[in-house]
Amino acid sequence: MAEQSNKWTSAIDTTKPSIARAYDVVLHGKDNFEVDRAFVAEIAKVIPEIYDVAAYNRQILGRGVRFLIDQGVTQFLDLGSGLPTVQNTHQVAQSVNPEARVVYVDNDPMVLAHGRALLAENDRTGVVTSDLREPAAILADEAVKRLIDFSRPVAVMMVGILHHLHDDEDPWGIVEAYMAAVPSGSHLFVTHFCDSFPGSREAEEKYLAILGTGRFRTVAEITSFFKGHDLVEPGVVPLPQWRPEEDVPGELSVGQRLMFGGIAVKP
Ligand code: SAM
């Protein structure tokens, strides 16, 4: 059986869009409600390529996890993991190294419900329903501690999540707290909305007004999440340009440069 932990009893709220379900909409999933689809329709007015952006994010997630496995990493703490979709972190990692261990952390109650079904037969993967803004609680969680050995390198994954933390919640301090808990040789993997296109302010206003979160930060701000760690080549770049399997020809579209990301290693 999969490791599970659920201190949350909150019901699924279908009156407001949720980050996890809205992301499911852009990934063409089925685990969403009308309110989530209406939100995405509003965003698509400003960013018609929003569906492609989600696909680029899932693609770099797969490339990044394979890269991390190649570096010898066998433990993954996937923070803000999202609803199960295709090529989830444990599937990518365990297809290369069946011994790889993955803990998914998400605060959306639907993620636990769907994760439980997906992981029923996998004892090297767990789902924790918790708020990643509380690193001390997550690092002390029994399911996390059972699956992750913090004396060995860990991949701390914050893929498509830090833009959902407001500046005054100190996302930089939260990243630092996780990275302080893992040893040298651990990695940090971040992807993030960027203010790299003319409509970014309007998009940010819509995200904040309807969803309540969604910061489009500068490349410098995104890069500063990696402070104290060594960025691996090619650094913090538009998602399709991070170690692509095929060359990305020509000038990047808005969708291609809307999110930036990278991976760094803890020295
Ligand atoms: N990491 C996945 C990916 O990139 O494909 C999913 C990204 S999805 C856009 C962001 C996820 O973070 C959602 O599932 C949402 O529920 C979760 N999330 C948002 N705020 C969170 C918080 N404070 N604590 C834990 N999870 C959170």
**Which residue CA neighbors atom 12 of ligand 1 most closely?**
80
pLDDT of 206 strictly over 90: yes
The mean pLDDT value of the chain amounts to 94
Ligand 1: lining residues by beta carbon, under 6 Å: 19-20, 23, 57-58, 61, 80-82, 105-108, 111, 131-133, 159-161, 164
Ligand 1 atom with the smallest distance to the CA of 58 is: 5
For residue 140, give every residue at least 6 positions away whose Cβ sits within 8 Å of its Cβ, in sequence order, or none: none
Of 8, 16, 19, best ligand 1 pocket probe by most atoms within 8 Å of the beta carbon = 19
Residue 25 belongs to some domain of the structure: no
Residue 209 belongs to some domain of the structure: no
**Which residue CA neighbors atom 8 of ligand 1 most closely?**
82
Residue 43 belongs to some domain of the structure: no
pLDDT of 9 strictly over 80: no
**Count of domains forming the chain:** 1
Chain segment 94-131, per-residue pLDDT in tens: 999 999 999 999 999 888 888 877 887 789 999 999 99
For residue 265, give every residue at least 6 positions away whose Cβ sits within 8 Å of its Cβ, in sequence order, or none: 71, 185, 186, 187, 229, 230, 232
**What is the pairing mode between strands 259-265 and 237-238?**
antiparallel
**Whole-prediction pTM value?**
0.96
**Which residue CA neighbors atom 19 of ligand 1 most closely?**
80
Residue ranges making up the domain that contains 117: 52-196+214-265
Residue 235 belongs to some domain of the structure: yes
Residue 75 belongs to some domain of the structure: yes
**To the nearest whole percent, how much of the chain has pLDDT over 70?**
96
pLDDT of 221 strictly over 80: yes
Q: How much is the pLDDT for 115?
A: 84
CATH code at position 224: 3.40.50.150
Residue 20 belongs to some domain of the structure: no
d(CA 196, CA 102): 32
* pLDDT-derived band at 247, boundaries 50, 70, 90: confident
